Amino acid sequence: MIGTSWSPRLNIRWRLTAWNAVVMTAVLTVFSLVLLFAVRRHLTERADQTLQEELRELIEEINFYPDTSNLGAQLERRYSVHAHYHFRVVDQHGNPLFRSRFLTNVELPFDTDPATLRGAVFQDVELPELGTHRLLTMAMRDSRSNPLLLQVLAPRMALDSEFRSYVWMILTAGPIALCSAVLAGYFLAGRSLAPIEDIAATAERISAKNLSERVLVSDPNDELGRLAILLNEAFDRLQTSINDVRQFTADAAHELRSPLAIMRTEAEVALRSARSDEEYRRVIQVTLEEATRLGELSDQLLTLSRHDSGALGPFDDIVAMDALLTDVLEKFHLLAQEKGVTFESSTLPAWYVQGDDIWLSRLFFNLLDNGLKYTEAGGTVRLLASISRETDGRQTATFVVEDTGPGIAAEHLPSLFKRFYRADESRNRRLGGTGLGLAICQSIVNAHKGTIRVESEVGVGSRFIVTLPGSTEDRP
C-alpha cells in the first residue's frame, strides 16, 4: 500500500522539478544572452565615444594649423606616439599626410573617397599579430577645402577582457541561480503535494468499517481544498448508500424471519403429538399463507434490486395512459365490488408516455390496491386524471388515487416511500403488507421521470398524487 501511495507522488514531484529546471534553464539562458548582448553593445559604445573624442581633438588640431603643406610635421610632434590610440591622415589621392609610428608598417583597410564619406564609420579590424582593433574613420576639409580622411585606431583588448569578465560572472552565477531555483522548485512541489498525501492516507483509512472519517479541508478555496470537499461529498454519498444497503439487508432478513418462524413453530407443534385432520389442515393453511407471503416478498425484493441495478428504462415504447388505466380499472372494479367499496373515476384524457406498460400498470394497481386495502366497506376509492400546463409551457398529466380510509399520521408521511416502512405496523401485518409496495411505486415513477407524493389526514383519507411527463399526441 505504501508503494502505491508514494510512487505517484514522487513521480509528480520529480516531473514538476524537471519541468521547472527546463523552464528555468531556458529563461536564464535567454536572459543571460540578452544581458551579454546589451553589455557588449554598451562597452563598444563607450569605446567608440572615446575614439570619437580623440578624433575631435585631432580635427581641432588640424583646424588650428591652416597650412596643410606642413601638417605631417606638425602632427608628428603630438600624435606620433600614443599608448592607446594611433592616428592616420590621408589626402584625397590616398597619400598619407601623417601616420602614428605604430602604423608605420601596418596597412589599414580603407578605400573610401573622403570627398563622398559622410559621418563617422566604426569597424573592427583584425591586424596580423596585433589582434582585433576598433577603427573610426571620418572625413573633413582642410582650410583650402581639400577633403582629408582621418582614422583613429585603438586595440579592443581592454574591451574584450572586460566583456570576458562579465561572461565569466554569468557563467558562474547562472548555474548557482539555476541550482537554487531547481532546489526551491523541488521543495515547493513537495510542499504543494503534501495535502494530496494526506488525502490519499485518509482515503486509504476509509473502509466499510470506518466510513465516518473525512479528509481535512485546509483551504476550501484552492484546488486541493475543492478536491477534498468533492471527495468528502463522495464519501458522504458512499456512507449513505452503504448504510441504506445495510438497513435494507437487515430489514429484509427480519421480514424473511417472521414467516419462516411461524411455519417452523406451527410444524413443530403439530408434530409433537397426533392431531386431528382439522388441526393438520389449519397448519397446512397457515404454512401456505406464509409461503405465499414469502413468495410475494422475494418477488418484490427481486424487483427492487433489478430497478436498483438500472434494469428499468430507458424506454422506447409509447404507452397510451387512458387505455392502460381502463384495463387496470376493469380488474380493480371487481375487487372493489367484492369488498363493498365504492369506486369512482374521472374521464381519462388522452396522454402518451414514453415508458413500460407493465410497470405503469403495476404502479397504479399498487396505489389502488393500497386504497382498497386500507378502506373499510362503505368507503370510496377514486382515480382522478387531469392535464395541466406548467409555467414553462410544458404539459404534465396528474393522476390522483384517493380513498376515504383511515389516513396516515403526519409524522409518517416523509418516510412513507422508504423500503419496509409501515405507518401502522399491526394493521399492516394483519393485511399482509410487506412495506415495499410504495418503494416500488417510487422507483417506477422515477424511471419515468415523474413525481409521486402523498397527502393525508387521519380519519379523512389519503391522496397519492403522481405526475408523468408525456404528450397529448401519439408520438415521442
Choose, by CB under 6 A, the member of 408, 444, 445, 447 that binds ligand ADP.
Answer: 408
Taking the complex as a whole, how short is the minimal distance between the CB of residue 370 and ligand ADP, in angstroms?
4
Q: At what angle do helices 157-205 and 223-272 cross, to 10 degrees?
A: 20
Taking the complex as a whole, how short is the minimal distance between the CB of residue 348 and ligand ADP, in angstroms?
21
Contact 125, 119 (CB under 8 A): no
Taking the complex as a whole, how short is the minimal distance between the CB of residue 459 and ligand ADP, in angstroms?
11
Taking the complex as a whole, how short is the minimal distance between the CB of residue 262 and ligand ADP, in angstroms?
17
Q: Which stretch binds ligand ADP (CB under 6 A): 67-75, 239-247, 305-313, 436-444?
A: 436-444
Report the residue number, 159 or 436, with the smaller CB distance to ligand ADP: 436
Please tell me whether residue 434 binds ligand ADP under the rule CB under 6 A.
yes
Please tell me whether residue 297 binds ligand ADP under the rule CB under 6 A.
no
**Dihedral sign of CA atoms 300, 301, 304, 309 in order:** negative
**Dihedral sign of CA atoms 436, 438, 439, 440 in order:** positive
Please tell me whether residue 416 binds ligand ADP under the rule CB under 6 A.
yes
Q: At what angle do helices 277-308 and 223-272 cross, to 10 degrees?
A: 170
Choose, by CB under 6 A, the member of 217, 252, 341, 438 that binds ligand ADP.
Answer: 438
Taking the complex as a whole, how short is the minimal distance between the CB of residue 415 and ligand ADP, in angstroms?
9
| Residue labelled with grid coordinates 393522476 | 399
Report the residue number, 90 or 436, with the smaller CB distance to ligand ADP: 436
| Secondary structure class of 270 (helix, strand, coil) | helix
In angstroms, the CA 325 to CA 352 distance is: 12
In angstroms, the CA 320 to CA 438 distance is: 23
Comparing CA positions, the residue from 72, 123, 128 lying closest to residue 100 is: 72
- Interface with ligand ADP in residues 140-159 (CB under 6 A): none
Q: Report the 10 Å Cβ neighbour count for 223.
A: 10
Please tell me whether residue 437 binds ligand ADP under the rule CB under 6 A.
yes
Please tell me whether residue 282 binds ligand ADP under the rule CB under 6 A.
no
Among the residues of 382-436, which ranges form H helices?
Answer: 425-430
In angstroms, the CA 155 to CA 67 distance is: 31
Choose, by CB under 6 A, the member of 185, 405, 450, 470 that binds ligand ADP.
Answer: 405
Taking the complex as a whole, how short is the minimal distance between the CB of residue 466 and ligand ADP, in angstroms?
13
Please tell me whether residue 424 binds ligand ADP under the rule CB under 6 A.
yes
- What DSSP letter does each residue of 217-233 carry, written as one string? -S-TTSHHHHHHHHHHH
Comparing CA positions, the residue from 363, 374, 300, 362 lying closest to residue 336 is: 374
> The sheet that has 395-403: what strands, in order across it?
342-345, 380-389, 395-403, 461-469, 451-457
Taking the complex as a whole, how short is the minimal distance between the CB of residue 421 and ligand ADP, in angstroms?
6
The backbone torsions φ and ψ at residue 301, rounded to the nearest 5 degrees and listed phi first, read -65, -45
Taking the complex as a whole, how short is the minimal distance between the CB of residue 414 and ligand ADP, in angstroms?
12
Please tell me whether residue 403 binds ligand ADP under the rule CB under 6 A.
yes
Residues in the chain: 476
Q: At what angle do helices 357-374 and 437-447 cross, to 10 degrees?
A: 150
Please tell me whether residue 445 binds ligand ADP under the rule CB under 6 A.
no
Please tell me whether residue 351 binds ligand ADP under the rule CB under 6 A.
no
Please tell me whether residue 444 binds ligand ADP under the rule CB under 6 A.
no
Amino acid 278 reads E
- Interface with ligand ADP in residues 365-394 (CB under 6 A): 370-371, 374
Choose, by CB under 6 A, the member of 422, 449, 465, 469 that binds ligand ADP.
Answer: 422
95, burial (CB in 10 Å: exposed 0-12, middle 13-18, buried 19+): exposed
In angstroms, the CA 422 to CA 417 distance is: 9
Taking the complex as a whole, how short is the minimal distance between the CB of residue 347 and ligand ADP, in angstroms?
23
Please tell me whether residue 345 binds ligand ADP under the rule CB under 6 A.
no
Choose, by CB under 6 A, the member of 428, 446, 451, 471 that binds ligand ADP.
Answer: 428
Taking the complex as a whole, how short is the minimal distance between the CB of residue 250 and ligand ADP, in angstroms?
17
Q: Which stretch binds ligand ADP (CB under 6 A): 176-184, 238-246, 389-397, 423-431?
A: 423-431
Report the residue number, 173 or 431, with the smaller CB distance to ligand ADP: 431
DSSP H or E segment with residue 310: none
Footprint on this chain of ligand ADP (rule: CB under 6 A): 370-371, 374, 403, 405-406, 408, 416, 421-424, 428, 433-439, 462
